[in-house]
Chains A and B, each alone.
Chain A
Amino acid sequence: MTSRWKFRDHEAEGRMFNRRVNLVLFFIFLMLATLVAKLVDLQVMRYEYFAARSDGNRLHVQYVPPERGLIYDRAGALIADNTPVYSLTIVPEEVDDLEATLDYLAGLVSLDADDIETFDDQLRRSRVPYSSVPLRYVLTEEEKYRVAVNGHRMPGVRMEPQLMRHYPFADLTAHAVGYVSHINQQELDALDETEFENYGGTTHIGKTGVERTYEHLLHGQVGYETVEKNNRGRVTRVLERTEAIRGRDIVLHLDYRLQQVAVEALGDYRGAVVAIEPASGGILAMVSKPGFDPNLFVTGISNRDYSALVTDEINTPLFDRSTNPYPPGSTIKPVLGLAGLHFGHIDYEFTIMDPGWFRLPGVSYRWNNWTMRTAIGGGHGETDLRKAIYQSSDTFFYQLGHTMGIDRIHDFMSLFGFGDNLALDINYARTGVLPSRDWKMETRGEPWYPGDTINSSIGQGYMWATPLQLATAAAVIANEGRMVRPRMLKSVAGELWDFPEQDSVPDVLLEDPDYWRYMRDAMTMVVHRPYSNVFRDYGTAYEYTARADPDMNYLLAGKTGTAQVVGIDQSIRSSEDIRVSDLNKDHALFIAFAPAAHPVIAPRIALAVFVENGESGSAVAGPVAKRISDAWLLDILDLDLDVEPAVESSEAGQVGE
Chain B
Amino acid sequence: MNSRTYGQAAAPQGRWAGRSPNVDIGLLLIVGLLGIFGLTALYSASDGDSALIQRQAAITGLGLIAMLLVAQLDLRLVQRFAPHIYLGGLALLALVLAFGVEANGARSWLNLPGLPSFQPSELMKFIIPGMLAAYLASQPLPPRFPRILVAGLLVLLPAGLIVLQNDLGTAMLVAMAGFFVLLLAGMSLRLIAFGGLLALLASPVWFLFYAQEHQKNRIRSFIDPYNDPAGAGYNIIQSQIAIGSGGVTGKGFGEGDQSRLDFIPESHTDFIFAVIAEEFGLAGALALLGLFVLLLWRGLRIAVNAGDMFARLLAGGIVLIVFFNVYVNMAMVIGLLPVIGLPLPLISRGGTAIIAFFIGFGLLMSIEADSRKGSVRNR
A: residues with CB less than 8 A from B are 4, 7-10, 13-14, 16-18, 20-21, 23-25, 28, 31-32, 34-36, 38-40, 42-44, 46-47, 49-51, 53-55, 57-58, 228-232, 236
Contacts and interface: CB of A to CB of B under 8 A. Distances in A.
B257 A58 contact: yes
Given A53-B241, A54-B241, A230-B261, A44 B184 contact: no
A406 to B, nearest CB: 71
A188 B210 CA distance: 51
A35 B140 contact: no
B331 A24 contact: no
B242 A43 contact: no
A47 B282 CA distance: 11
A36 B240 CA distance: 14
Contacts of B185: 17, 20
10 contacts: A4-B138, A14-B309, A20-B185, A28-B296, A32-B293, A38-B331, A50-B244, A51-B244, A57-B263, A231-B262
Given A16-B141, A44-B282, A58 B261 contact: yes
10 nearest interchain CB pairs?
A50-B244, A54-B245, A230-B261, A42-B244, A43-B282, A50-B245, A51-B245, A231-B262, A53-B241, A231-B263
Nearest to A47: B247
B183 interface: yes
B312 interface: yes
Nearest to B285: A39
Contact of A39 (B258, B286, B303, B320): B286
Interface string B106-123: 000000000000000000
B304 interface: yes
A9 B260 CA distance: 58
Contacts of A10: 308-309
Contacts of B312: 14, 17
Interface string B266-292: 000000000001000110011001000
Q: Interface size bucket, B side?
A: 35 or more
A25 B138 CA distance: 26
B345 interface: no
Interface string B132-165: 0000001111100000000000000000000000
A567 to B, nearest CB: 58
Nearest to B140: A8
Contacts of B245: 47, 50-51, 53-54
Contacts of A17: 184-186, 303-304, 309, 312-313, 316
A58 B263 CA distance: 9
A284 B345 CA distance: 81
B365 to A, nearest CB: 19
A579 to B, nearest CB: 60
A304 to B, nearest CB: 38
A36 B244 CA distance: 13
Given A13-B140, A17-B312, A236-B261, 20 more contacts: A4-B139, A13-B309, A14-B312, A17-B184, A17-B309, A20-B183, A20-B185, A21-B303, A35-B330, A35-B331, A38-B335, A39-B277, A42-B240, A49-B244, A50-B240, A58-B261, A228-B257, A228-B261, A231-B238, A231-B263
A13 B141 contact: yes
B82 interface: no
A32 B184 contact: no
Contacts of A25: 300
B261 A50 contact: no
Point out which of B180, B257, B316, B320 has the most chain A C-beta atoms below 10 A from its C-beta: B257
A31 to B, nearest CB: 5
A21 B297 CA distance: 11
B327 interface: yes
A interface majority secondary structure? helix
A54 B289 contact: no
B223 to A, nearest CB: 16
A229 B261 contact: yes
A404 to B, nearest CB: 77
B336 interface: yes
Interface string B216-255: 0000000000000000000000101111111110000000
B334 interface: yes
Contacts of B184: 17, 20-21, 24
Nearest to B234: A231
B241 A20 contact: no
Contacts of A16: 141-142, 186
A228 B312 CA distance: 54
B323 interface: yes
A236 B296 CA distance: 42
A35 B334 contact: yes
Interface in B311-325: 312-313, 316, 320, 323
Given A21-B303, A24-B320, A43 B246 contact: yes
Point out which of A4, A34, A35 has the most chain B C-beta atoms below 10 A from its C-beta: A35
B244 A53 contact: yes
Contacts of B263: 57-58, 230-231
A67 B142 CA distance: 83
B270 to A, nearest CB: 16
B12 to A, nearest CB: 22
Contacts of A35: 289, 327, 330-331, 334, 336
Given A35-B331, A38-B336, A57 B257 contact: yes
Contacts of A47: 244-245, 247-248
B247 A43 contact: yes
Contact of A230 (B262, B277, B289): B262
Given A39-B277, A39-B334, A43-B248, A21 B186 contact: no
Contacts of B323: 28
Contacts of A28: 296, 323
B158 to A, nearest CB: 23
Contacts of B260: 230
A68 B247 CA distance: 46
